[in-house]
Amino acid sequence: MADIADDELAVDKASISVDDILDGIHVIGDLTEAAAILAESESVLAVIEPFNALVTPIVMIYHVLKDMDANVSAAGRMGYSYGLMYRALDMGQPTHDFHGPDSLDPEATIQRKTTAFNEGAAEAAESLTTAVRNRVLLRIAYNSNDAKRTINEIWRVLCEKDDDDWYGSKFGLAWPDIGLEAKL
């Protein structure tokens, strides 16, 4: 990561504490600022680790989805993961068409997957407080601005929390495209 000069920082470092950032009092403007904050404070890393603490409070929606088919539940986790990333990066609300050319699902299953995806994305939007957004941006910056790596960390944690090792181990999320991709 390139060094960032003091005059390039978007914040007055002396007036912002780690707690201000992680509690959402200070809003991180973008990934450049997140990278500058990480470069200045190793203690931020200690607080954002382990990453699963980010999604722990929001896993309850998946206990409801767990009673559905595994692929429908995976669509909900996928929607949540993309919803969190899209909102943190100010990209709006994600949408996904499950009618892809390779889909063998009947219309009823496609509709259930679409509903689960949209509900997951909506839940992410509701849960994205300033503190959560700051943590997502810090994690992307920590991952060398690799949003794909970060969204897949979110996905993996959600799969683990939902006891869905199969989806978590066999599939990752495409980025910036929306969809599952097989892990090799």
The b-or-e profile of 164-182 (16+ CB within 10 A means b, else e) is: beebbeebbbebeebebee
Neighbours of 20 (CB within 10 A): 15
**Residue 62: is its pLDDT beyond 90?**
no
Picking from 7-16, 96-105, 150-159, which range would have the lowest pLDDT averaged per residue?
7-16
Q: Is the full-model pTM beyond 0.85?
A: no
Q: For 72-106, how does the pLDDT look when each residue is reduced to its tens digit (9 = 90+)?
A: 889 999 999 999 999 999 999 999 989 877 778 88
**Residue 25: is its pLDDT beyond 70?**
yes
DSSP per residue, 18-83: HHHHHTTSSPP-SHHHHHHHHHH-THHHHHH-SGGGTTGGGTHHHHHHTTS-HHHHHHHHHHHHHH
120, 112, 43, 111: which is closest to 83 by C-alpha?
A: 120
Question: Which pLDDT value is given to residue 54?
Answer: 56
Single-letter code of the amino acid located at 124:
A
**Residue 13: is its pLDDT beyond 80?**
no
Residue 173 β-bridge partners = 180
Pairing of strands 180-182, 171-173: antiparallel
